[in-house]
Structure 1
Amino acid sequence: MLKIFTTQLSGIFNRIQEGEALPIEDGARLLAQAVISDHSIYVYGKNELEGILKEALYSSEPFPSAKPMPQNEEDWPAFQTADKVLMFCSHPSDDSDLEIAKRLNEKGIGLVAVSPSGKEDAPVATFADVHIDSKLKMPLLPGEDGTRFGFPSLMVSLYIYHALSFTLKEILQEYQ
C-alpha cells in the first residue's frame, strides 16, 4: 500500500510541477508586491490546512510578511489595498471558502488561491487573481470494498506552499 501511495503522490507532485509552474510564478509575483511594499500576506487554511499557517509562521524558514487570516470576517484585519491573501482549500466548492474568496474579491484584496479544480474548474478560482490547481481531486488509494482513502491535502498543499516560497525568495533576491 505504501508503494502505491508513494507512486500516486509522486504523480500529483509531477502534475503540479508540469502544469502549475506558471500559476506558481504568477502567485509568487503577486505576493512579492505585498512584501516589497512592506504590507502583509494573510495566510488562510481551515481544518487540516491550518498546518500551512503554522509552517508559514513558525518554521525554520517563515514566509515573508505572513500573518494569520481569521476565518470569521468579523475578525478580519483592516486590509490595505497592497495586502494579499494566500488561501488554501482542500475541496473545490466548499461554501465557506467560496464566500471568503468572494468577500476578498469585493474588497479588492489580491488573492492567490490553491484548491483542486473541479469538472468545471474551481469555483474559488473565479474570485482569485491567481489560482493554483492542487490536482488532488479524490483519495489516492483503492479500498477492497471499492471506496477510496488517503487524501493527503496537507502534504500536497505544503508542496505548493514551498514552491511559492522558493519562487518568492528568488523574486525578492532579484529585486534587491
Structure 2
Amino acid sequence: MKIFQTQLQGLLNQIDNNEAELEDAARLVAQSIISDGDVWIYAEDEMIGVVAQAMHGSDSLPNLSLGEQGALFDSMDTLLVFSPHKLSKDALNVVLSAKEEGANIVGVSSESTPHEGEAWTDHCTLHFSTGIKNGLVPTESGNRIGMPHLIVALHYYYGLYFSVMEMLEENEFDFDAVD
C-alpha cells in the first residue's frame, strides 16, 4: 500500500503541472454554460465513476448531460471525455460526432499500450494524461497491479469543477435558473 500511495501521489502531483491548461478547459466549460450551450460527459470502463460524481454527486456541474453516440452536439457545447484508453473506438465515435458539430472536447485518458487505430485524444481541444501506463505496484511474479484510472480522473474532474464554479460565480451565473 505504501508503494501504491507513493506512486499515486506522484501522479496526482503531475496535475499541478497542468494548471494553466486545466484553467483553459474550465473556461471552455464555463463558456458553454453561460452561453446556454450544453456540457456533455462521456466515460467508459472504470472511469464511468466520474459520470456518477459529475451528474449525481454533491459537486455536480450545471447543464451537464450524458454524451453518447447520437447526442445532438452543437458549436456552443463542450464534451468531457474520460477513458482509460486513448485508442477506444467508442470514445472516438463520440468525439468525432462532437467535433463535426464544432463542440469543444476536453479529454482525460491514460497512456494506452500500443495498438492499431486512431486515437480519440488527437481530436481533443485539450487533453490530459493520467500518466498511467501500467500498474503502480510490482508483484513478486514480475507483474504490476494497481491502475488508479478513476482516482486520477476524479482529481482532474475536481480541478475542472472548482475552476468552473469560480468562473461562474465571478460572472454572477444564476444557479437557481438551472433545472
Interval containing the TM-score (normalised by the shorter chain): 0.7 to 0.9
Give the distance between the partners of 2:113 and 2:86, measured in 1 at CA: 9
Query: Aligned residue pairs: how many?
Result: 169
Structure-2 residue corresponding to 1:89: 83
As a proportion of its length, which structure holds more helix? Answer: 1
* TM-score between both structures, scaled by the size of structure 1: 0.88
Give the distance between the partners of 2:166 and 2:109, measured in 1 at CA: 24
Q: In angstroms, what is the RMSD of aligned CA positions?
A: 1.9
- 1:153-172 CA distance string (max 9 Å, x none): 11110010000000111111
Structure-1 residue corresponding to 2:72: 78
Q: Could you list the runs of 5+ residues in structure 1 that have no partner in the other structure?
A: none
Query: Which ranges of 4 or more aligned residues in structure 1 deviate by more than 3 Å?
Result: 117-120
Does residue 10 in structure 1 map to residue 9 in structure 2? yes
Give the distance between the partners of 1:55 and 1:44, measured in 2 at CA: 12
Matches within 5 A, 1:1-176: 2-18=1-17, 20-70=18-68, 73=69, 76-117=70-111, 123-176=119-172
Identity over aligned residues, as a percent? 32
Aligned residue identity for 1:54: A
| Deviation of 1:136 (Å) | 1.7
Give the distance between the partners of 2:35 and 2:95, measured in 1 at CA: 23
| Deviation of 1:144 (Å) | 0.9
Give the distance between the partners of 1:101 and 1:175, measured in 2 at CA: 29
Aligned residue identity for 2:109: S
Give the distance between the partners of 2:139 and 2:158, measured in 1 at CA: 31
| Deviation of 1:119 (Å) | 8.9
* TM-score between both structures, scaled by the size of structure 2: 0.86
Give the distance between the partners of 1:64 and 1:83, measured in 2 at CA: 13
Q: 3-state SS of the aligned residue for 2:40?
A: strand
Aligned residue identity for 2:76: A
Give the distance between the partners of 2:120 and 2:20, measured in 1 at CA: 18
Structure-1 residue corresponding to 2:177: none
